[in-house]
C-alpha cells in the first residue's frame, strides 16, 4: 500500500495546533410557535442547559422543558414536563448531585390562575420528582437556589385570598421535593419576587418590584431575609417609571448587586438600572442608564472569576428599530465598560445568562418578528468581542479527547462530505458520509489511542485534518 499521501497529511496534522473551544455563536431554536428561554446553567462537561416556555412541542398551550446543548450550541437532548394547559420554567439551578431543578408555573384554569410548579431531574434531564406550590389562587415560582443541606428555596408571587393582592412568596422544599414552609414576606405592600440568590453571609437576597394597578407605577424592591424567611430589611428604588429589580447576585461581605430597568408601562424601555447595596441594605452605588446612549433594560447579573459584574440585557438600536440582546461588564461605578451585541435581525427579549468554566458568557431569551421567532442563545468570549453565526465559525471538535461520543462542526451546509478515521499506522478504521454542517461521532468500538481524522468534500479535496484522542 502506498502510504506517502497519508503520511503527508498526517505530518501536516501534527504540525497544526488545533483551535480549542474559544467559540462565539448566535443560535436560534424552535421556530414553529412561541418559545423562550428563561433560565440557563453551564454544565461541567462544557455544555449548557436551559429552560423556559415551549409552544412548539407536545402542547401548543405551553410546556415546561429542558434542553441541553454542547459547547457549539448543537442540541443534545430536549425533555418536556408538561401538564394540561400552559406550564413553563422560570428559573433553573444546577443541583449538587449533577441534576437540575426547574422553578416555574402551571395553569390551573387557563388565563385565570396558576400554581408554582417545580421539577427535579437527573443529569440527563429525566424527571425524578415534581411538586405543586401555592394556594387556591394565583401563585408562581421564579428564582431558586440550593441550600448547603440540599434543600431548595424559591421566591415568586402569592395571591392573598382576602385582598387578592400579590405578595412576595418564599417557599422551601426538601431534597426530595417535600414542602417544609411557604410564607408571604411581610413588606407591607403588594409586590412580586423575581430572583433569589444566596448572600455570602448565609442569608437570602431577593429582587422584586412593588405591584400597582397602574402599569406605569412600580418601584424596584430588594430585600434580605434568613433562610427561614425572617425579614432582615427591604428597600425600594424609583427611576420614575415602571421599575423592576429583575436579578440579584451576592457579593463579598453579605453585599449584593441588583439589575433591572424602567419602562413606560407598555414594555418600551426607558433606561437600564444597576444598584449596589451593602450587607445592611444601604445603597452604595446606582447607575440609571449604565452609560448607554440608547434605551436599554438589564435582565441578569453574575460575578465572573475576576470579581467583575457581568450583565446581559436588551438595547434599542435606532438604526434598525430593533431591540437587540447584549452582554457587558460593569465597572465600580456601575457604568458599562464593554458591550457585545448579538445580531438576529429581529426584536429580542433577553432573559437569562450564565458563565461557563472557560469564562465564556452565554445569554439567551426569545426573538419574535414577522419572519422568525423562537429561543436565541448568544455565546461570546470574555477575552474577545467577536460574535458570529456558528456556520461561519472555524472547524470545531469537542470534547477532544473523548470517551463515548464527540461533536464535529465542519460548516459547508448542503455539501456532501466524507470523514475518514485512520489509526497512526495509516489503517482506515471508519468512514462516515454526511451533508450536514454538524455531526455527532460515536466511539463505536474504537480502541483508546490517537487517531487522524480527515474530512474531504465530494471532489476529494481536503476540508480539514484533525488530531483526535480516544480515552480508555
257 vs 182: CA distance, rounded Å: 26
Query: Do 385 and 400 lie in a common domain?
Result: no
Q: pLDDT value at position 390?
A: 42
Domain closes at, from 391, 425, 451: 391
Check residues 7 and 54 and name the one with the higher pLDDT: 54
pLDDT in tens, 303-339: 988 889 999 999 999 998 999 999 999 999 999 987 7
Assess whether 463 and 373 both reside in one domain: no
Same domain, 465 and 350: no
**Is 277 in contact with 225 (CB distance < 8 Å)?**
no
Lowest-pLDDT range, 15-29, 58-72, 143-157, 414-428?
A: 15-29
224 forms beta bridges with 205, 233
pLDDT tens profile 359-384:
889 999 999 876 667 999 999 876 54
Same domain for 365 and 406, yes or no, is no
Residues 6+ apart with CB under 8 A from 111: none
Shared-domain flag, residues 107 and 139: yes
| pLDDT range class, residue 427, cuts 50, 70, 90 | confident
pLDDT at 452 over 90: no
- Higher-confidence residue: 189 or 50? 50
Residue whose C-alpha cell is 480539514: 464
Beta-ladder partners of 89: 104
Task: Please write the tens of the pLDDT for every residue from 131-180.
Answer: 999 887 889 999 999 999 999 999 999 998 888 889 999 999 999 999 99
Domain of residue 61, residue span: 25-391
The phi and psi torsions of 26 (rounded to 5 degrees) equal -115, 130
Task: Choose one of 391, 424, 450: the last residue of a domain.
Answer: 391
Mean pLDDT value across residues 4-31? 52
Tell me what percent of the residues of the chain surpass a pLDDT of 70: 90
Distance, CA of 276 to chain centre: 23
- CA-nearest of 468, 375, 443, 322 to 73 is 375
Q: In this structure, are 404 and 360 located in the same domain? A: no
Smallest CA-to-CA distance from 200 within 251, 151, 239 is with 251
Residue 447 sits in a domain whose CATH number is 2.60.40.3080
**204: CATH:** 2.130.10.10
Distance CA 410, CA 391 (A): 8
Phi-psi region of 46 (alpha: psi -120 to 50; beta: other; left: phi over 0): left
Number of domains in the chain: 2
Confidence at 193, pLDDT banded by 50, 70, 90: very high
Last residue of one domain, picked from the residues 368, 391, 414: 391
367 and 403 in a single domain? The answer is no
For 445: left if phi > 0, alpha if psi spans -120 to 50, otherwise beta; the answer is left
Residue 199 · residue 193 · CB < 8 Å: no
Eight-class DSSP state of 35: B
CB atoms within 10 A of CB 394: 12
- Is residue 328 within 8 Å of 342, Cβ to Cβ? no
The better pLDDT of the pair 32, 164 is held by 164
If asked whether residues 386 and 402 sit together in one domain, one would say no
Q: What is the pTM of this model?
A: 0.82
Among 179-193, 208-222, 398-412, the range of highest mean pLDDT: 179-193
pLDDT of residue 396 exceeding 90, the answer is no
CA diameter of the chain: 87
Local structure of residue 345 (DSSP, 8 states): S
Shared domain check, 401 and 381:
no
Both 320 and 258 in a single domain? yes
Q: State how far the alpha carbon of 167 is from the alpha carbons of 62, 107, 138, 211, 274, in Å.
A: 25, 19, 11, 8, 24
- Model confidence over 336-350: pLDDT tens digits? 987 788 878 889 999
The secondary structure of 189-206 as a DSSP string is S-EEEEEEEE-TTS-EEE
Is the pLDDT at 213 greater than 60? The verdict is yes
Cell of 295: 434605551
Same domain, 155 and 113: yes
What would the DSSP string read from start to end of 245-278?
EEEEEE-GGG-EEEEEEEE-SSS-EEEEEEEEE-
The predicted structure's pLDDT at residue 89: 96
User: Does residue 259 share a domain with residue 345?
Assistant: yes
Closest CA to 209 of 240, 251, 238: 238
Amino acid at each position: 500500500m502506498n502510504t506517502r499521501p497519508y503520511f503527508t497529511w498526517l505530518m501536516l496534522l501534527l504540525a497544526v495546533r488545533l483551535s480549542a473551544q474559544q467559540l462565539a455563536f448566535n443560535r436560534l431554536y424552535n421556530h414553529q410557535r412561541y418559545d423562550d428561554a428563561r433560565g440557563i446553567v453551564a454544565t461541567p462537561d462544557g455544555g449548557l442547559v436551559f429552560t423556559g416556555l415551549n409552544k412548539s412541542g407536545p402542547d401548543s398551550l405551553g410546556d415546561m422543558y429542558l434542553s441541553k446543548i454542547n459547547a457549539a450550541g448543537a442540541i443534545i437532548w430536549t425533555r418536556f414536563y408538561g401538564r394540561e394547559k400552559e406550564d413553563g420554567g422560570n428559573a433553573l439551578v444546577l443541583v449538587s448531585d449533577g441534576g437540575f431543578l426547574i422553578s416555574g408555573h402551571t395553569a390551573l384554569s387557563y388565563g385565570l390562575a396558576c400554581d408554582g410548579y417545580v421539577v427535579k431531574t437527573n443529569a440527563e434531564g429525566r424527571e425524578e420528582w415534581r411538586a405543586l406550590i401555592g394556594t387556591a389562587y394565583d401563585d408562581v415560582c421564579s428564582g431558586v437556589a440550593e441550600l448547603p443541606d440540599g434543600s431548595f428555596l424559591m421566591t415568586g408571587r402569592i395571591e392573598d385570598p382576602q385582598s387578592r393582592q400579590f405578595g412576595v412568596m418564599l417557599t422551601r422544599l426538601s431534597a426530595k421535593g417535600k414542602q417544609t414552609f411557604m410564607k408571604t414576606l411581610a413588606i407591607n405592600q403588594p409586590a412580586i419576587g423575581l430572583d433569589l440568590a444566596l448572600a455570602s453571609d448565609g442569608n437570602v437576597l431577593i429582587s422584586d418590584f412593588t405591584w400597582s394597578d397602574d402599569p406605569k407605577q412600580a418601584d424596584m424592591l430588594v430585600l434580605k431575609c434568613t433562610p427561614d424567611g425572617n425579614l432582615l430589611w427591604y428597600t425600594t428604588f424609583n427611576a420614575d417609571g415602571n421599575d423592576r429589580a429583575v436579578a440579584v447576585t451576592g457579593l463579598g461581605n453579605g453585599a449584593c448587586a441588583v439589575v433591572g430597568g424602567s419602562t413606560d408601562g407598555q414594555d418600551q424601555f426607558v433606561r437600564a438600572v444597576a444598584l449596589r447595596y451593602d450587607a445592611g441594605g444601604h445603597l452604595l452605588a446606582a447607575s440609571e442608564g449604565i452609560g448607554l446612549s440608547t434605551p436599554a433594560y438589564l435582565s441578569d447579573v453574575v460575578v465572573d472569576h475576576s470579581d467583575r459584574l457581568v450583565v446581559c440585557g436588551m438595547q434599542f438600536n435606532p438604526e434598525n428599530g430593533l431591540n437587540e440582546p447584549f452582554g457587558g461588564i460593569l465597572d465600580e461605578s456601575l457604568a458599562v465598560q464593554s458591550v457585545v451585541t448579538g445580531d438576529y435581525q429581529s426584536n429580542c427579549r433577553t432573559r437569562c445568562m450564565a458563565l461557563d468554566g472557560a469564562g465564556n458568557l452565554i445569554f439567551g431569551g426569545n426573538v419574535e418578528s414577522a419572519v422568525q421567532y423562537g429561543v436565541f442563545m448568544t455565546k461570546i468570549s470574555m477575552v474577545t468581542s467577536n460574535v458570529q453565526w456558528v456556520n461561519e465559525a472555524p472547524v470545531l471538535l469537542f470534547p477532544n479527547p473523548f470517551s463515548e461520543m464527540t461533536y464535529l462542526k465542519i460548516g459547508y451546509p448542503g455539501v456532501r462530505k466524507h470523514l475518514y478515521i485512520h489509526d497512526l499506522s495509516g489503517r482506515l478504521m471508519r468512514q462516515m458520509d454526511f451533508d450536514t454542517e454538524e455531526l455527532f461521532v460515536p466511539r463505536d468500538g474504537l480502541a483508546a489511542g490517537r487517531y487522524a481524522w480527515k474530512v474531504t468534500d465530494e471532489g476529494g479535496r481536503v476540508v480539514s485534518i484533525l488530531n483526535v484522542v480516544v480515552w480508555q
